[in-house]
Structure 1
Amino acid sequence: MRSTSMPIALAAVLLASGCGATGGGEEEEQRRAAVATSVPDARLTLVADEDPVASAASTSRALFDTADVVVLARSGDPAGSLLAASAAVGLGVPLLVEPADGAAADALTAELDRLGTTTVLAVGDAEGGTSDEDAGGTDREVVAVPAAAESVAAVTGLDLGEVQETDDGQAPAAVAALDPGDPVALQPPGDAPDPAGDVGTLPAVDRAEPLEGTLVMATGDAGSLAGIATARAAGARVQLTGGVTDPRGSADLVALLGEEEPDAVVALGAGFGAEEGLDWKLETAATGTQLPGGGQLLFPGHFLVALYGHPGSGALGVLGEQDVAGAVERAQAHAAPYEPLVTDAAVVPAFEIIATVASEFAGPDGNYSTEVPAEDLRPWVEAAGQAGIYVVLDLQPGRTDFVAQAELYRSLLELPHVGLALDPEWRLAPNQVHLTQIGSVGIDEVNRVVTWLADLTRAAALPQKLLVLHQFQVRMIPERERLDTSREEVAVMVHADGQGGQGDKQATWSTLRQTAPDAVAWGWKNFYDEDAPMLSPEETIAQVSPRPQLISYQ
């Protein structure tokens, strides 16, 4: 059941209404208007109407219980909509929208009736919203004013301050930033209409208690402008996502959710309607945990530059050529040259740590793989996290399977900055040995890893995890077209590991991309000793197309 917040009078924002003299010389009693708000019952309320009329009504319905006064703008009237937003936020009442073509507006009429509205402030081109017949015979007063700041200030009694010019692209952010206690007049650039003469006054509005525990996350599409104003009028916090519909993709939203822990969230924007799993994505974002580089989604917002190898062994890659502190500095130094080259993503240094090392000996378990204890790797993993470095744990499983080995590192993979890599070159069949045959892995086994890693990520409400598939021959992952890319908890990447001359490497790159499934990211490896020559950062960005999301060094 909704718990209604009782209206309270706030003297600092009460409107001055006109007072006339009675025949006996006494002051006419001031008209007053009541407004009531309440926190939505559900943790998540979806307002995904594409029609701006319906979107405005739905937002009002989510946040307001009653409103004797509402503000009205006409769809497609920028000047009227902006000043109407200023008025609605200043008054503390909903902003509704009437159709641009004068067509019947069932959603508008129904919302005015539900709110019990008796007075409508129609701004700009708005005419009042409903005819007497549509209004069901109610005696609803319409006060119409032009889209002129002086007229809106006069009819509302609000001190709107200086006019703030706002173009279409800035309008959602400008409305979201409106302060109910200190409203400003928003209008498009250019000349404003002339103010009207005597436009009358509205009743004095007793603002409702602000919904400080409610957060509205809004894509900022044009159709949600009135909803943003209504949210600010109700005292709710509005956070724009920059068009992102997955809450994990906005670093600002993740930070806000983690800091404020809102009682309820309203998702405002047509795009949210197509976002599958919005509920669990919101709960993940609400942890406030961020990836190195910000947010909870890896791509396209991140560009990783990794050192590959095994701690304590320079023979297995550059990562192990120095201690952990030296590796942190070296990873940062490798990433730095890419920062001026990659301006549309956060450049993030990374470690790719070989966690299970292919062995020429069967070992006690007979699997030709040496599994390094997770606790031995933890100092490297934790030092990386503290330095803002992403970590990928690489598996070379020999004759065992990838899921069994991944399970050994669950405790590390439960950290938010740790992903996983599968190295099929070192996945042996029962009678194979390393360096005699090049290994391969069936797609069903790969998909089991996808499921295992995605389930772990969802259960722990972790940021999206990277799953790297190393490959330099098509036969290493046959039937790759069946790769499961449906789990949004995981970003799956194909990493081209070819070495040698740049012509051969480009040929490998092209061949691997010919059978690429949809929705995979791409990685490229630069070899210090085996490439002829190794590409510089500038050459890597210029010559490897399309641009990879991970560059690793071995």
Structure 2
Amino acid sequence: MLGCFMLTACDTEAARKKVSAAPAAKKDTVVAAPPAAAPEPPPPPTLDTATYNALTLHMVHDSASAKWPVKTGYPLPGALLPFHRIVAYYGNFYSTRMGILGEIEPESMLKKLQGEVAKWQEADSSVKVIPALHYIVVSAQGQPGKAGMYRLRMPFTQIDKTLELAAKINAIVFLDIQVGLSTLQKEIPELERYLALPNVHLAVDPEFSMKTGKVPGSVIGTFDAADLNYASEYLAELVKKNDLPPKILVVHRFTKGMVTNYKNIALRPEVQIVMDMDGWGFPAKKVNSYKLAVSSEPVQFTGFKLFYKNDIKTPPWNTIMSPKDVLKLYPKPMYIQYQ
């Protein structure tokens, strides 16, 4: 699941003139190809794929039912979860490889997103579905750059573009951080002017947090509960300081090792935490990852990621999981992301 995470020379060639005008991004604009990704683990069962999928796709572990729902206080006024389901498009405008957000022309992308929102609303009419744009604002890189951090910060003009597009369909916005060799303590404060807006939320990606100093993409990275507690505390202070509705913090995860000491993750009324299963593959593999890395280690809310391309790479699958398929999971994900 070490997927496409960086802006390649091909992706950024047309955009470099714009990026170079932004001092924060200029230092890291020399981007090299990523190292060879770690091989995908084989499907867990010895059964053939079709048989395994039929047996496990809609199966619920008895152990999971005892852990959900997580006991927390009643949400503060203005909280989006669990009163809404969020359907988000993920990516970066400089890349056609990092997700649907930058793969097609913006107006077509917004129309396609609205179509997905309608499908989810039809699949579950009991929960209002709202759209979101999930923009990778700090991208992990295969080369250190002048800062030596193996990460590239996007110029604020691109965040502004995300906000302008979101306003057209009344969508919320997530700013996604891949720290590389940097830290959340260094990256989150750079985004405060945007995170202080009521419709902007945060996402962090442990996969590209390289605490061992290795190159992003060479191994799966990790965040500890302490890292996530820093992020949620920072958001909570912004909420209180600016009298905002609760923020959402999305944490990507498809292995247990990506998040350590999950029981120490602090819950705060000002922040709603979503553990998002963002692994790709055939349906049973995705369901297995959801049960292993998300539902078996409950934090607060859950999410599920769907890949337009990677999820259908393994024959005989020629279509991604439908909303009805995903809604058979336990607990039902409240955050859905398309890449």
TM-score if structure 2 supplies the norm length? 0.73
Partner of 1:536: 322
* Structure 1 match to 2:137: 355
Partner of 2:156: 374
- CA 1:510–1:247: 2 relative to 1, 3 Å: closer
Alpha-carbon distance in 2 for matches of 1:439, 1:477: 9
Q: Which amino acid aligns with 1:530?
A: N
Native 8 Å contact 2:175 2:202 kept in 1: yes
Residue of structure 2 aligned with 1:414, choices 182, 196, 209: 196
* TM-aligned CA deviation for residue 363 of structure 1: 0.6
Give the counterpart letter for 1:526 in structure 2.
Answer: L
CA RMSD, Structure 1 to Structure 2 (Å): 1.7
Name the SS of the counterpart of 1:316 in structure 2. coil
Equivalent of 2:273 in 492, 505, 512: 492
SS of 2:284's equivalent? Answer: helix
- Say whether residues 1:508 and 2:289 are aligned partners: yes
Residue 317 (structure 1) shift? 0.6
C-alpha contact (below 8 Å) 2:250/2:274 kept by paired residues: yes
Distance 2:160 2:238 in 1: 19
2:338 matched to 1:553?
A: yes
CA distance in 1: counterparts of 2:182 and 2:216, whole angstroms: 13
Q: 2:111 aligns with which of 320, 329, 333?
A: 329
Contact 1:414 1:460 in 2 (8 A): yes
Deviation at 1:308, TM superposition (A): 0.9
Q: Quick one: distance in 1 between partners of 2:113 and 2:284? A: 27
Equivalent position of 1:306 in the other structure = 88
| Equivalent position amino acid for 1:522 in 2 | T
Aligned counterpart, 1:401 = 183
Q: Offset of 1:328 from its aligned partner?
A: 2.2
Contact 2:75 2:269 in 1 (8 A): no
Question: Distance between the aligned counterparts of 1:340 and 1:414, measured in 2?
Answer: 33
Give the Cα separation in 2 of the matches to 1:299 and 1:246. Answer: 8
- Does the CA contact (< 8 Å) of 1:301 and 1:344 recur in 2? no
Letter in 2 for 1:370: L
What CA distance in whole angstroms lies between the structure 1 residues aligned with 2:258 and 2:81?
Answer: 25
Deviation at 1:326, TM superposition (A): 2.9
How many aligned positions are there? Answer: 260
What is the distance in 2 between the residues matched to 1:411 and 1:319? 22
* Stretches of structure 2 lacking an aligned partner (at least 5 in a row): 1-72
Please tell me the residue identity of whatever aligns with 2:185.
Answer: V
Whether the aligned pair in 2 keeps the contact of 1:306 and 1:349 (CA below 8 Å) is yes
Match of residue 305 from structure 2: 525
1:340 aligned counterpart, secondary structure: helix
Q: Which position in structure 2 is the counterpart of 1:317?
A: 99
Identity of aligned residues (%): 28
In 2, Cα distance between the equivalents of 1:457 and 1:491? 12
How far is the alpha carbon of 1:325 from its aligned partner?
2.9
Q: Does structure 2 retain, via aligned residues, the 8 Å contact 1:466–1:492?
A: yes
Which consecutive unaligned segments of at least 5 residues does structure 1 have?
1-243, 249-295
Distance in 2 (alpha carbons) for counterparts of 1:479 and 1:501:
29
Whole-Å Cα distance in 2 between the matches of residues 470 and 362 of structure 1? 23
Once the two structures are superposed, residues 152-174 of structure 1 have per-residue CA deviations (whole angstroms, 9 ceiling, x without a partner) of xxxxxxxxxxxxxxxxxxxxxxx
Distance 2:307 2:238 in 1: 33
Who is 2:30 aligned against?
Answer: none
Q: Which residue of 2 aligns with 1:391?
A: 173
Letter in 1 for 2:324: E
**What is the CA–CA distance in structure 1 between the aligned matches of 2:143 and 2:75, rounded to whole Å?**
47
Structure 1 residues 455 and 507, CA, compared in 2 at 3 Å: closer, same or farther? same
Deviation of 1:359 (Å): 0.6
Note if contact 2:206-2:253 (Cα within 8 Å) is conserved in structure 1: yes
Q: Is the 8 A contact 1:352 1:394 kept in 2?
A: yes
Q: Contact 1:385–1:417 at 8 Å: present in 2 too?
A: no
Counterparts of 1:247 and 1:422, CA distance in 2: 23
| Shift in CA distance, 247/511, structure 1 to aligned 2, threshold 3 Å | closer
Counterpart code for 1:353 = Y
> Would you say the 8 A contact 1:349–1:390 is kept in 2?
yes
Whether contact under 8 Å (2:236, 2:270) holds in the other structure is yes
Query: In structure 2, what residue type is equivalent to 1:470?
Result: H
Native 8 Å contact 1:331 1:351 kept in 2: no
Q: Which amino acid aligns with 1:548?
A: P
Matched residue, 1:470: 252
Could you tell me whether the CA contact under 8 Å between 1:305 and 1:348 is conserved in 2?
yes
CA distance in 2, matches of 1:420, 1:247: 18
C-alpha displacement at 1:551, in angstroms?
1.1
Q: Which has the larger radius of gyration?
A: 1
Q: What SS does the corresponding residue of 2:109 show, helix, strand or coil?
A: helix
- Equivalent residue, structure 2, for 1:285: none
Distance in 2 between the 1:246 and 1:509 partners?
25
Measured in 1, the distance between the counterparts of 2:277 and 2:232 equals 19
Decide whether the 8 Å contact of 2:149 with 2:180 is kept in 1.
Answer: yes
Q: Provide closer, same or farther for how the CA distance between residues 432 and 246 of structure 1 changes in structure 2, counting only shifts above 3 A.
A: closer
Shift of 1:544: 2.3
Q: 1:441 is matched with which residue: 203, 223, 230?
A: 223
Offset of residue 430 of structure 1:
4.9
Retained in 1: the 8 A contact 2:81–2:334? Answer: yes
How does the TM-score come out when normalised to structure 1?
0.45
Greater displacement, 424-433 / 324-333 = 324-333
Secondary structure of 2:260's counterpart equals coil
Contact 2:93 2:158 in 1 (8 A): no
Q: Is the 8 A contact 1:312 1:320 kept in 2?
A: yes
Which residues of 2 match residues 39-54 of structure 1 at below 5 A?
none
Q: Is the 8 A contact 1:374 1:412 kept in 2?
A: no
